[in-house]
Every structure is written in C-alpha cells, then in structure tokens.
Amino acid sequence: MASDKTKGNLPHILVVDDEAAIQRFLRTVLDAEEFTVHQAETGHAALAAAAVIKPDVILLDLGLPDLDGVEVIRRIREWSPVPIIVLSVREREDEKVQALDAGADDYLTKPFGIAELLARIRASLRRTLQQVPEPVFTLGGLVVDLPRRLVSVDGAEVQLTPTEYDLLRLLVTHAGKVLTHGQILRQLWGNAYLEQPHVLRVNISNLRRKIEADPSRPRFIITEPGVGYRLQTPR
C-alpha cells in the first residue's frame, strides 16, 4: 500500500524523536534529499501519525517520554509492515535486539553520519518495493543463485553444507537488514536452539571462511556486536 503512495510523489518519512535539535537536523537533511518529512515527538503521537499519514519509512527513537519505543513498534506491527528504522545509542544492545525482534527492520547507532542514514532508508524502501527477492543476488564477487542453489565467489563455485547454504540464503533474502541471533536461530534451527548461539557462530565462521577473502575483515557478512548479522547490500 505504501507503494502506490510513492508514485509520482516523494516518499513520506515519519521521524519520531523528542529532541528538538535532532528533529531540526533530520528535517533539514531529509527535506534536501527529497523526502516528505513528518514529525512526532511522543509515542502516542507517532502511533496516530502512522495511522493517518501512512508513511513509507519510520525513523523511531527508542527513548520516548511516554511510551517505550519497543511498545510503539509492537503496536504498529499489529496492522502495518511499514519499515521501521530504530535510532539508539551504543550501550543499549539489548534494546536494539528487542526492537528488532519486535519487528523493527533496522537500527542506527547514534551519533550517525547522514550517508549511513540515507543508505539505510533507501535499503528499507527498496525492500518494501521489491516484494519478491531477485533470484540471483550479486554483491562484489559473491553471486548467490537462489533457484539453482549455487554460490560462487569471484567466479569460482563454493561448496556449502546445507545449513551454511540456508544461512546464506536467509541473509541474502534480507540483505541490508540486521537479523538478530534469535531470528536466525528460530528460522534455521527452530525455537529449541534459541539457547545454543554457538551453533550459529560456528556456521557463520565457516561460511565466512568459504566466501570472504579475509575472514578477519569480512566484506559480505557484517557482525553487529551484541545484536546479530547483516549482509551488506550492493551499492
């Protein structure tokens, strides 16, 4: 439904933050980048605005004066799949994981650069527009052919175990989005493995060794410390 609104129009962004300075800065920057910016300063205002405006993306600060940010996400998710990007500070990893698990699409750690913010917004918009993932995902030298279950790096085919492939496919289908450890574990191994995060670590490690040029400085699979993993999006 967001898609038909964007036709011929600028995408609508709802910025939810109670800090006036941040609101002002974001409005200036996003206006210049050809977005229609709406603002809300409280959780309840955000919920109301989300229902009325039906924004294409929501930028949500988790520390709101009235409602818990995670609660705002839950209530929006009850009726809308609109992409939500969470803004949070470094020390609150738990909060980020909660927000992501509650349905947020992405997060940004304050303070952030504007380039990064725009990249995240665009990635979210792109995911919304593209309902069905591309059958062949390309990122740098990495090619993942989903219909044929083939993976190659720099033209050379890579042999993956079924679990590694499933893991890569999951990341590919959510490229650019952070997946929490919990989300990955639940999808791939089921709820029983939620308390066994080392299974995931080992597979990520093995996967990196197979697809990354230098596993110590990964370019494809990025670790978000304390939160989860993200597959880089093609620029």
Partner 1 sequence: MIRTDDDNRPVPEALLKRVEAEEEKGKGKLKIFLGYAAGVGKTYAMLEAARQRLSEGRDVLAAYVESHGRSETDALMAGLPGIPPLYLKYQGMVLTEPDLDGVLERRPQIALVDELAHTNAPGCRHDKRWKDVEELLTAGIDVYTTVNVQHFESLNDVVAQITGVEVQETIPDALLDQAAEIRLVDITPDELLQRLREGKVYIPEQAARAMETFFRPGNLIALRELSLRRTASRVDTQMRAYMETRSIPGPWPAAERLLVCVSGSPFSEKLIRATRRLADELKAPWYTIYIETPSSSKHSRQNRRRVWRDMRLAESLGAHVATVTATSVPEAAVDYALRHNVTKIVVGKPTKPRWRELLSPPVVDRVIRLSGPMDVCVVSFDSPEGPSQTAVSPAPPFQPSGYAGSIALIGLASILCQLVRPYISPTNMVMVYLLAVVLAAIRLGLRPAILTAFLGMLAFDFFFVPPRFTFAVADTEYLITFTALFTVGVVISSLVSKARERAEAVRTREVQTASLYYLSRDLAAAADIGAILDAVVRNLGESLRARVALFLPEGERLEISASSSGLILDMNERTVADWSYRNRQPAGRGTGTLISADLLYLPLQSATSVLGVMGIDLEDHDDYTVQETRRLLDAFATQIAMALERVQLAHQAEQAQLLQARENLERALLNSISHDLRTPLVTITGVLSSVLEEGDHLSGQARRELLESAREESGRLNRFVGNLLDMTRLEAGAMTVKREPSDVQDLIGCALAAVEQRLGPRSVAVNLAPDLPLVPLDMVLMTQVLVNLLDNALKYSHRDSAIEIDAARDGDRLRLSVADRGPGIPEADLERVFDKFYRVPVPEGAGGTGLGLSICRGIVEAHGGTVSAVNRSGGGLRVTVRLPLEMFGKEENNAYGI
Contact window for partner 1 (CB under 8 A) among 46-54, 60-68, 164-172, 208-216: 208-216
Strand partners, 150: 145
Q: Which amino acid is at 193?
A: Y
Residue 44 contacts residue 80 (beta carbons within 8 Å): no
Nearest approach, Cβ of residue 116 and partner 1 (Å): 12
Residue 148 engages partner 1 in binding (rule: CB under 8 A)? no
Helices 181-188 + 162-173 axis angle, to 10: 130
* Contacts (Cβ under 8 Å, ≥6 apart) of 144: 136, 137, 138, 150, 151, 168, 169, 172
Nearest approach, Cβ of residue 104 and partner 1 (Å): 19
Nearest approach, Cβ of residue 89 and partner 1 (Å): 9
Residue 98 contacts residue 77 (beta carbons within 8 Å): no
Contact window for partner 1 (CB under 8 A) among 19-27, 70-78, 147-155, 223-231: 223-231
Which of 31, 52, 90, 157 binds partner 1 (CB under 8 A)? It is: 90
Residue 194 engages partner 1 in binding (rule: CB under 8 A)? no
3-class state of residue 30 by DSSP: helix
Which of 33, 93, 101, 166 binds partner 1 (CB under 8 A)? It is: 93
Contact window for partner 1 (CB under 8 A) among 50-58, 79-87, 157-165, 221-229: 221-229
- What is the C-alpha to C-alpha distance for residues 66 and 105, in angstroms, rounded to an integer? 22
Instruction: By CB under 8 A, name the binding residues for partner 1.
Output: 90-91, 93, 111, 113, 197-198, 201-202, 204-206, 208, 214-218, 222-223, 225-226
